[in-house]
Amino acid sequence: MSRVYNFSAGPAMLPVEVLKEAASEMLDYQGSGMSVMEMSHRSQVFQNIIDEAEADLRDLLNIPDNYKVLFLQGGASQQFAAVPMNLMKNGVADYIVTGQWSKKAAQEAEKYGKVNVIASSADKTFSYIPDCSDLPIDDDADYVYICENNTIYGTKYKELPNTKGKTLVADVSSCFLSEPHDVEKYGVLYGGVQKNIGPAGVVIAIIREDLIRDDVLPGTPTMLKYKTQADKGSLYNTPPCYGIYICGKVFKWLKKQGGLAAMKEHNEKKAKILYDYLDQSKMFKGTVVPKDRSLMNVPFVIGDKDLEAKFVKEADAAGFVNLKGHRTVGGMRASIYNAMPIEGVEALVEFMKKFEKENA
Ligand SMILES: *Cc1c(COP(=O)(O)O)cnc(C)c1O
């Protein structure tokens, strides 16, 4: 068996320890005589799995007691509708557009109310995060929405916007648990877990209790109403049981690594290896303004399509896979989430150096 270094933006690498442990429990989960895939979501065994996952996540993130943790389905994209349906009381929301995902979220929200785009970095292909210190926040806005780490463009908010007292909603899909998040600064933070936490099929939403209401938008589907899920402890219907189980294992793995402050340090060290090389390379160039660079997604270009295709092909053959950039940016992108070991980034940089020398 040989594992590659997988730089996919998602679904992405998971820690080998977690995969091995799951494999060892595949046929008989802790004496239950069945796999987690086969057991009732109403069983005590599964209840323990979801309870422990939530407790570990609360521990990792220091989630205050007045926040609910929901394990949902439908991907991060489903939340683009759920957020306005649950939160638009005045029918107005402010969106900051820093890439495809926030653009899609804003477009979806327009179906349910008035959306103001109060800042955008579209003018420079989303290569930076706009100044958010003094935004034209609407007095009636029910919330201010951001995508905190832009998976496609490789930018990250290093400071949260000044929302002037309005509720902040953040899509944290691609930076979830990569560093500490100060949960109290958000009304809602949510993310699809397939980027940095677990298998596709689970979305985790952390929501302040006062935002979980009965008076949601008329017509809101039962399943999209946060209150339905909160009242039933994410077990209103069959949840993505196996996915939640794997997330729980990743939470334990993160605690073993020293928690999120240790992860941040590790991720900074890892990203620096790649950025330092990009900054001195004559061939490869990073596409993002240095101060707004993501620790998780690193887009870079050569500026010659043929040479880029050659690089991606040769990298793939050498065991560095999924480096092709998103079609809207071109070039390459290395996603280096929590589970990517430092050796993976070091080896990639060595490979890039060799390619640069051979193709100068
Ligand atoms: C991948 C991604 C999404 C879309 O996630 P789905 O689970 O496929 O709906 C949304 N937002 C961000 C930031 C992402 O990285």
The Å distance, Cα 176 to ligand 1 centre, comes to 12
Q: Does 69 score more than 90 pLDDT?
A: yes
Give the Å distance between the CA of 355 and the centre of ligand 1.
Answer: 32
Question: At the topology level of CATH, where does 16-256 sit?
Answer: Aspartate Aminotransferase; domain 2 (3.40.640)
Please report the sign of the dihedral spanned by the C-alpha atoms of residue 172, residue 71, residue 334, residue 302: negative
> Residues within the annotated binding site?
42, 76-77, 101, 151, 171, 194, 237-238
| Per-residue exposure over 144-153, b if at least 16 CB sit within 10 Å of its own CB, e if not | bbbbbbbbbb
pLDDT recorded at residue 327:
87
The answer to whether 311 and 332 have CB atoms below 8 angstroms apart is yes
CA distances from 65 to 48, 68, 214, 242 (A): 20, 8, 20, 26
Query: 176-203 pLDDT, tens per residue?
Result: 999 999 999 999 999 999 999 999 999 9
pLDDT band at residue 329, thresholds of 50, 70 and 90? Answer: confident
- 92 beta partners: 114
Asked if 68 is an active-site residue, the reply is: no
> pLDDT per residue over 331-353, tens digit each?
999 999 999 999 999 999 999 99
Q: Write out the binding residues for pyridoxal 5'-phosphate.
A: 76-77, 101, 151, 171, 194, 237-238
Query: Quick one: pLDDT at residue 254?
Result: 98
Has 101 been annotated as catalytic? yes
Percentage, residues of the chain above pLDDT 90: 98
Answer whether 171 contacts ligand 1 (Cβ < 6 A). Answer: yes
pLDDT of 1 > 90? The answer is no
Q: Is the peptide bond before 130 cis (omega within 30 degrees of 0)?
A: no
**Using CA atoms, how far apart are residues 196 and 178, in angstroms rounded to an integer?**
7
Q: Rounded distance, CA 228 to CA 234, Å? A: 8
What is the C-alpha separation between 158 and 108, in angstroms, rounded? Answer: 26
Instruction: Let me know how many helices (H) and strands (E) the chain has, helices first.
Output: 9, 14
Q: Exposure string (b/e) for 218-234, b if CB count within 10 Å is 16 or more?
A: eebeeebbbbbbbeebb
Domain parsing of the chain, residue ranges: 16-256, 259-359
Using a 6 Å cutoff on CB, does residue 324 contact ligand 1?
no
pTM as predicted? 0.98
- pLDDT, position 328: 84
Closest ligand 1 atom to residue 78 Cα is: 9
Cβ–Cβ under 8 Å, residues 40 and 46: yes
pLDDT recorded at residue 76: 98
- At 343 the pLDDT is 97
Q: Is 195 a catalytic residue?
A: yes
Tell me the per-residue pLDDT of 40-59, one tens digit each, with 9 for 90 and over. Answer: 999 999 999 999 999 999 99
- From 68, 94, 101, 253, active-site residue: 101
pLDDT tens digits along 3-52:
999 999 999 999 999 999 999 999 999 999 999 999 999 999 999 999 99
8 pocket-lining for ligand 1 (C-beta < 6 Å): no
For ligand 1, the distance from its centroid to the CA atom of residue 192, given in whole angstroms, is 6
Place of tokens 């936490």: 197
Class in CATH terms, 259-359: alpha beta
What pLDDT digit, counting tens, does each position of 90-134 carry? 999 999 999 999 999 999 999 999 999 999 999 999 999 999 999
Looking at 156, 171, 227, 253, which residue is catalytic?
A: 171
Ligand 1 near 199 CB (within 6 A)? no
Pocket test for ligand 1, best of 174, 194, 202, 337 (most atoms within 8 A of CB): 174
